[in-house]
A and B are shown apart, each in its own frame.
Chain A
């Protein structure tokens, strides 16, 4: 029982990341009909928003180290600490959560610029061409990041307060062994929040209503005199923000490097397919499902029984779903089936 709960918990943070990326992917797919291979790159961009923010906060100056008395020693002290002392170091400590506020406008801007500058010319082109141009874009983004930040992973720690492990087992009355890092818990809750916000936004605002209507019948909605194009552009920006936020908050779990997005991209395509193309609840459900299954497959018991299953389970499930039920778990019939 303990091991069971632990595996579910372990799968949650990966599942959250899959769900968030797949949500944006399927949002863009459902509205604009674009197969976006550059979506994983936005995850990376978000992560590097956090990195940049951390680097911005820790801009430092050489200061004489008072603790060394024999000779003159200097150490780097961030300006924030020089100016504001303990408050400053606390702000630095909270760099990752705070960088959300940087990431939202930046990712929105990037999304809007990309949509207006590139994607809008590809709505009428074939899916093959969309895949290729966005694949190229993904490589370009990835390489630009590599030029600026180098090829090595950059550690971006979670706030000290949230870097321990939570004794979830004790909370649930299961036992000491079920422990879970606080940050992963935060990541999971954060993803729920973002997913909830996106759903509420689409469900309860006029904007969301028009967008949903536009997703099911674009022509009729535009005949009503509503500017669907512009709303879809904004939706594209929102999808970028969602992917970016997923990246920002993921940085303490795995230190970001320039090609982190590619791995997630392929997986999130799989997630979208399993959930059903264009289906938002499907993407979220499949994301969590695959994350949890993946963590079950990497249990030692299963590894000794079926070695290698943990490496391929996601793809295996995708293949099975595609062959048996091509519209995915929650997809509508006939979407993209030709």
Chain B
């Protein structure tokens, strides 16, 4: 079960190399700093997990941000109560998000299509509203939950691990900030990717795909599809929980806004942008969205003027006026437009676009080969 074909082993090897060397090769793009790299890894993980549900089974969940939130809160609580070590925090967060997903998935999966989307949306919205209001003792409401210096931290105190300075998550003494935090997230991403490759290649993955293509036919052949769907839902929820946990590991603060339904929309976009149902697509989508968020939202008007300063004055001003609403504060406008453009023109996502180009290119090459051979024959 844990053996991969030769191609997949190459894929895993390439993927590992690309992720681990990301600080180097992303440097020229201005993305080679830990804060952004962490985001790539974390949201990549989130999107991989989401893809296992949406990409394989076609069930569109609009509530996965809830699991992200659960993961974040659990992690901060683990930091507060148990230990600043990240291992128990991540494990607990993943498990608790999984448990949460069992409940929500068990109920939501009774319906499909649009009803499923609305059910998950309603559950997530409930979690979000409760996190803001009644659950304030657990979530600290609007202020957000943070790690404090004088929290109990039972395990740490038992082991006598003293912490000076501000409390941040640590991996046996390595502080989870900057590059160590990125590498921790990166290892998680690689593990998550490995697991998703396994799932894609397994009979389980095949069954999920069969559900996507025709659920009733699947049922007629004697399969009870519900358990498979529930597993897919729970696994994707656990991925989301782990991503939320990593968010809290790299920045020990959890807030309810992570659970809002627009946040769920974002992960859908990441998956679609990259290509649903493909292995690498969701990660590429997540990275692209986070990258452009970072780049676009950093531009203000003066930065724009600088960027276009090589042009004559009136063209510069004109371009700045046009571009300005799309960057900085208005980055969400770009996001929305991107949403529409992708769905309208490239429903298969970037991976689909790439493979189309590759196919055309190959066909042309093939065609010219034929032409050549026919000439030779002549």
User: Chain A interface (Cβ within 8 Å of chain B)?
Assistant: 35, 118, 121, 125, 127-129, 131-133, 135-140, 142-144, 146-147, 262, 266, 269-270, 273, 277, 307-308, 311-312, 315-316, 318-319, 322-323, 326, 336-338
Query: In the bound complex, do residue B118 and residue A139 qualify as a contact, i.e. CB atoms below 8 Å apart?
Result: no
Is the Cβ of A133 less than 8 Å from the Cβ of B344? yes
- From B111, B337, B347, A129 is in contact (CB under 8 Å) with B347
| Separation of A127 and B125 alpha carbons in the complex (Å) | 21
Supposing A132-B339, A319-B107 touch, asked if A147 and B333 sit within 8 A by C-beta, the answer is yes
Instruction: Kindly report which residue of chain A lies nearest to residue B124, judged by CB atoms.
Output: A315
Contact of A137 with B336 in the complex, beta carbons under 8 Å: yes
Chain A positions within 8 Å of B325 at CB level: 143-144, 147
CA–CA, A80 to B335, complex, Å? 41
- The reply to whether A326 and B121 form a contact with Cβ atoms under 8 Å apart is no
Task: State whether B58 touches A128 (Cβ < 8 A).
Answer: yes
From DSSP, what is the main secondary structure of chain A's interface residues? helix
Question: Contacts A135-B265, A136-B337: A318 and B118 contacting too (C-beta < 8 A)?
Answer: yes
Residue in B118, B125, B132, B339 whose beta carbon sits within 8 Å of that of A273 in the complex: B118
Given contacts A143-B330, A147-B325, contact A128 B60 (CB under 8 A): yes
Given contacts A273-B115, A322-B119, contact A311 B340 (CB under 8 A): no
A268–B269 Cα distance when bound, in Å, is 23
How distant is the Cα of A337 from the Cα of B215 in the complex, in angstroms?
13
Q: How far is the CB of B205 from chain A (nearest CB, A)?
A: 20
Whether B129 and A311, one on each chain, are in contact in the complex, defined by CB atoms closer than 8 angstroms, is yes
When each residue 117-130 of chain B gets 1 if its CB lies under 8 Å from chain A and 0 otherwise, what string results? Answer: 11101110110011
Interchain nearest-CB distance for B296 vs A (Å): 12
Question: A136: which B residues are within 8 A, CB to CB?
Answer: 336-340, 343
With most chain A CB atoms within 10 A of its CB, the pick from B58, B130, B268, B340 is B340
Which residues of chain B come closer than 8 Å to A146, judged between CB atoms? Answer: 330
The verdict on A336 contacting B129 (CB below 8 Å), with A140-B337, A319-B122 known, is: no
Are the C-beta atoms of A262 and B262 separated by less than 8 Å?
Answer: yes
Q: Give the number of A-B contacts (CB < 8 Å).
A: 121
Nearest CB of A to B108, in Å: 9
Binding site for A on B (CB under 8 A): 58, 60, 62, 107, 110-115, 117-119, 121-123, 125-126, 129-130, 132-135, 261-262, 265, 268-269, 272, 325, 330, 332-333, 335-340, 343-344, 347
Bound-state Cα–Cα, A322 to B112, Å: 11
CB distance from B118 to the nearest CB of A (A): 5
Asked if A140 contacts B115 (CB within 8 A), the reply is no
* CB<8 Å pairs between A and B, sample of 19: A35-B114, A118-B340, A118-B344, A127-B113, A132-B268, A132-B343, A133-B340, A135-B339, A138-B336, A139-B335, A143-B330, A146-B330, A266-B121, A266-B261, A308-B135, A318-B118, A322-B111, A322-B115, A336-B115
- The minimal Cβ–Cβ distance linking B48 to chain A, given in whole angstroms, is 19
Evaluate contact between B343 and A336: CB separation under 8 angstroms: no
On whether the beta carbons of A139 and B332 are closer than 8 Å, the reply is yes
**Nearest Cβ in chain A — how far from B76, in angstroms?**
21
- A336 and B114: CB pair below 8 A? yes
Which of B112, B262, B325, B344 lies at the interface centre, i.e. has the most chain A CB atoms within 10 A of its CB? B344
Shortest CB distance B350–A (Å): 15
